[in-house]
Amino acid sequence: HAKTAGRRGERFFTNEMEAQLEARHTLEADLRKAVANHEFELNYQPLFDIGAQRICGFEALLRWNHPTRGRVSPVEFIPLAEELGLIVDIGRWVLLQACTDAAGWPEDVKVAVNVSAIQFTHGNLPEDVSTALTTSGLAPARLEIEITESVLMENREEALPILHALKQRGLRVAMDDFGTGYSSLSYLSSFPFDKIKIDKSFVTDIVENREAFAIIRAIILLGDALGMRVTVEGVETGEQLALLEQEACDEIQGYHISPPRPLADVPKLLSGSWETHGAKAG
Ligand code: C2E
Ligand code: MG
Ligand code: MG
Ligand code: MG
């Protein structure tokens, strides 16, 4: 009796797996065509300079508008694109598009572009960056490359010369999602980062929880002491911003200022209507 039930269970599981596998194959096939079909779009989220009290740049965030499934989250398709090796081409498109868009913004506004581990090693990132800068005419100092700790972890040997090559071209390098990896502290001093972006998980409870605030304060101090610009990601409320304003935090990013928006909204955001997205409106 139990055996029958077990078999049935197994069979059900297999069907489920087959369905999942098929869905994945379809997604793979669609992803391969997405660049050529112009299904990708960049959204831009403001980086808000606390000292200057203004938007000093935007992070480019990739969006996939799937013809039938609608918007697919980057959290879902970027790992797949990495696995399939498609991320190198997609990343090249992102770089060129972001630089081209930013070249149309005021000169004191920067653009930040995310780069994945595979782009870092299997592509030719310094060359792709140079091409994007030359083609778009964007000043190198206005481009910031964001990489996560896992990039360094997986490619410790290769990472340093690539980082130096990028910096030699005059652009800035930021460590993204700081604090979520394994060896954050040693990486901070051995790689030439201009900026750390403290992961949004560290800001969530800072208003309600003294310990959480103590931790983010310590990370901000560390970044500051190492001479880096410090950005806190995921700031959603005015109360959180008020706490961070008393610390050596240089920039914030988060829904309090604005969620990521289409390129067309950038002028509106720059002209000051960012205030309406945050707590000041309420
Ligand atoms: P990330 O680089 O850390 O980007 C920040 C993510 O946090 C974005 O998610 C953004 O929409 C979200 N976010 C911003 N403010 C808030 C907030 O106040 N609260 C909360 N809960 N979330 C907030 P998104 O756009 O879904 O992107 C997810 C991740 O996908 C990015 O994390 C990045 O690692 C990756 N990604 C996005 N675009 C690209 C790209 O062009 N290339 C590569 N390689 N990765 C990308
Ligand atoms: Mg990022
Ligand atoms: Mg991040
Ligand atoms: Mg500082």
pLDDT tens for the 282 residues of the chain, in order: 444 445 555 566 688 888 888 888 888 999 999 988 999 999 999 999 999 999 999 999 999 999 999 999 999 999 999 999 899 999 999 999 999 999 999 999 999 999 998 888 888 999 999 999 999 999 999 999 999 888 777 777 888 899 999 999 999 999 999 988 776 677 788 888 999 999 999 999 999 999 999 999 999 999 999 999 999 999 999 999 999 999 999 999 999 999 999 999 999 999 986 554 444 433
Give the ligand with the smallest distance to the CA of 146: 2
249 φ, ψ (degrees, to nearest 5): -90, 125
**Measured in angstroms, how far is the CA atom of residue 77 from the centroid of ligand 4?**
34
Cα angle for residues 222, 224, 225 (degrees, 5° grid): 65
Integer Cα distance of 155 and 13 in angstroms: 37
Q: Which atom of ligand 1 is nearest to the CA of 74?
A: 30
Name the residues around ion ligand 3, CB cutoff 5 A. Answer: 176-177, 233
Q: Which atom of ligand 1 is nearest to the CA of 82?
A: 44
Mutate to test the pocket of ligand 1, among 45, 61, 233 (most ligand atoms within 8 A of CB): 61
Report CA-CA distances (Å) from 134 to 34, 98, 140, 146: 25, 13, 9, 20
Integer Cα distance of 115 and 105 in angstroms: 22
Integer Cα distance of 72 and 80 in angstroms: 12
Report CA-CA distances (Å) from 237 to 24, 54, 229: 37, 17, 22
As for ligand 1, residues whose beta carbon falls within 6 Å of it are 45, 61-62, 73-75, 78, 91, 94, 114-116, 146, 176-177, 200, 233-234, 236, 253-255, 260
Q: Nearest residue CA, atom 5 of ligand 1?
A: 233
**Measured in angstroms, how far is the CA atom of residue 178 from the centroid of ligand 1?**
13
User: What is the DSSP code string of 180-195?
Assistant: SSS-HHHHHHHS--SE
Q: Provide the token pair at 89.
A: 């081409």
Residue 229 and residue 206 in contact, taking contact as beta carbons nearer than 8 Å: no
Q: Provide the token pair at 255.
A: 């829904």
Q: Nearest residue CA, atom 45 of ligand 1?
A: 114
Beta bridge partners of 42: 62
Integer Cα distance of 245 and 50 in angstroms: 7
Q: Nearest residue CA, atom 41 of ligand 1?
A: 62
Beta bridge partners of 179: none
Mutate to test the pocket of ligand 1, among 77, 147, 233, 237 (most ligand atoms within 8 A of CB): 233
Give the ligand with the smallest distance to the CA of 240: 1
What ipTM does this complex have? 0.98
Amino acid occupying residue 5: A
Amino acid occupying residue 267: P
pTM for this entry:
0.92
